[in-house]
């Protein structure tokens, strides 16, 4: 088997002529929809590239303050492309291969990692609208979001273990904080499919809604977010993200430094005047 490099994988991805990620703009928010339903929106190299580029554009757009990430029915995202994984790993046997394991490392870090860093590291709020099965890396994308709204048809599929892989793309961080070590270990070892209602009981999704109401509910959350003063949303997201890994004193200090900036804004002044006039 001939070795395949990260550069070659991405060249082929850029040559894809189909639109695999749809972008709809609605005022101050956008809806990103994975669009390869025949394959349950599996994260091929081409889809991954298109998703990263679309998300980067939205995060950089000051007019877009929130994003919904969803899939075209019947699935949210089936995870990584097993055919690509096989092609890359079989290529490692080529004596001429110079890159070795750094080929999948580059893809995982730059593409999958690039997407979750855009979601978690930016100031733009991202809502996952999980409309069906979400597996592996696809599930990791949902876990990286700020809110997770699940359809009653949603199923969480922790597929890493049975493939001989580790929880990746931020999954280990998320599940240990939501479930604690022992339940996170159980989650990984069992590999059991988790229906939406059970996911809600475990606290790994925020709410479960009827399937036909999913997108409307996600849009409602976006409308709530963009109704907030612009600075409040964009300052609160990184504050809360950092607070998960800081001590009480560190979180308190961050709040003390950040809050005075809010006092200087016109939205705060107008809110105070309005409340005092009541």
Residue range 51-110, pLDDT digits in tens: 999 999 999 999 999 999 999 999 999 988 878 877 777 766 767 767 677 788 888 889
Least trusted range by pLDDT, from 35-39, 210-214, 262-266: 262-266
For residue 241, is pLDDT > 70?
Answer: yes
3-state DSSP helix/strand/coil percent for the chain, to nearest 5?
Answer: 55, 15, 30
- Residue 261: its pLDDT value, please? 83
Neighbours of 136 (CB within 10 A): 24
Residues 6+ apart with CB under 8 A from 161: 188, 189, 191
Range name among 87-91, 101-105, 123-127, 132-136 with the lowest pLDDT average? 87-91
Q: What is the dihedral of CA 99, 101, 106, 107, to 10 degrees?
A: 120
> Which has more confidence, 220 or 268?
220
Query: pLDDT at position 1, please?
Result: 60
Predicted TM-score of the model (pTM): 0.91
With left for phi above 0 and alpha for psi between -120 and 50, is residue 69 left, alpha or beta? Answer: beta
Q: Which pLDDT score, from 0 to 100, does residue 227 have?
A: 95
The average confidence (pLDDT) of the chain is: 90
Compare 126 and 175 and report the one with higher pLDDT: 126
Q: List, in order of start, the domains of the chain with CATH numbers.
A: 6-227 (3.90.226.10), 230-276 (no CATH)
Q: Do the Cβ atoms of 111 and 45 come closer than 8 Å? A: yes
Contact 21, 54 (CB under 8 A): yes
Q: Which of 1-5, 6-10, 79-83, 144-148 has the lowest mean pLDDT?
A: 1-5
* Percentage, residues of the chain above pLDDT 90: 61
Range with lowest mean pLDDT among 134-138, 194-198, 208-212, 243-247 = 243-247
Q: In the structure, what pLDDT confidence band is assigned to residue 182 with cuts at 50, 70 and 90?
A: very high
Q: What is the pLDDT of residue 81?
A: 84
- Distance (Å, rounded) from C-alpha 131 to C-alpha 142? 11
pLDDT value at 255 more than 70: yes
Q: pLDDT (tens digit, 9 = 90+) per residue, 146-181?
A: 999 999 999 999 877 777 778 888 999 999 999 999
Beta-carbon contacts of 125 under 8 Å, excluding residues fewer than 6 positions away, are 65, 66, 67, 146, 147, 222, 225, 233, 237
- What integer pLDDT is reported at residue 248 of this predicted model? 83
- HSE-CB at 13 with a 13 A cutoff on CA atoms is 22
Confidence of residue 269 (pLDDT cuts 50, 70, 90): confident
Supply the pLDDT for residue 183.
Answer: 93
Residue 166 is predicted with a pLDDT of 81
């Amino acid at each position: 088997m001939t070795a395949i490099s990260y550069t070659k994988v991405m060249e082929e991805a850029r040559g894809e002529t189909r639109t695999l990620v749809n972008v709809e703009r609605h005022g101050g928010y956008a809806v990103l929809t994975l669009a390869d339903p025949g394959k349950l929106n599996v994260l091929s190299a081409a889809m991954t590239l298109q998703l990263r580029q679309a998300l980067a554009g939205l995060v950089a757009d000051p007019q877009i303050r929130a994003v919904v990430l969803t899939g075209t029915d019947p699935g949210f995202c089936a995870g990584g492309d097993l055919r690509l994984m096989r092609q890359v790993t079989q290529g490692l046997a080529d004596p001429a291969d110079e890159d070795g394991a750094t080929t999948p490392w580059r893809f995982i870090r730059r593409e999958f990692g690039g997407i979750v860093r855009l979601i978690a590291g930016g100031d733009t709020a991202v809502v996952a609208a999980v409309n069906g099965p979400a597996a592996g890396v696809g599930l990791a994308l949902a876990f990286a979001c700020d809110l997770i709204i699940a359809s009653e048809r949603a199923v969480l599929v922790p597929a890493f273990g049975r493939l001989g892989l580790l929880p990746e793309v931020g999954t280990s961080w998320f599940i240990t904080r939501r479930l604690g070590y022992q339940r996170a270990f159980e989650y990984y070892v069992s590999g059991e499919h988790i229906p939406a209602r059970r996911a809600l009981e475990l606290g790994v999704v925020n709410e479960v809604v009827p399937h036909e109401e999913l997108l409307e509910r996600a849009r409602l959350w976006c409308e709530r977010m963009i109704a907030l003063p612009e600075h409040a949303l964009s300052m609160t997201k990184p504050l809360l993200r950092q607070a998960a890994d800081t001590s009480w004193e560190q979180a308190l200090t961050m709040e003390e430094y950040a809050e005075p900036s809010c006092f200087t804004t016109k939205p705060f002044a107008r809110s105070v005047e309005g409340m005092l006039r009541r």
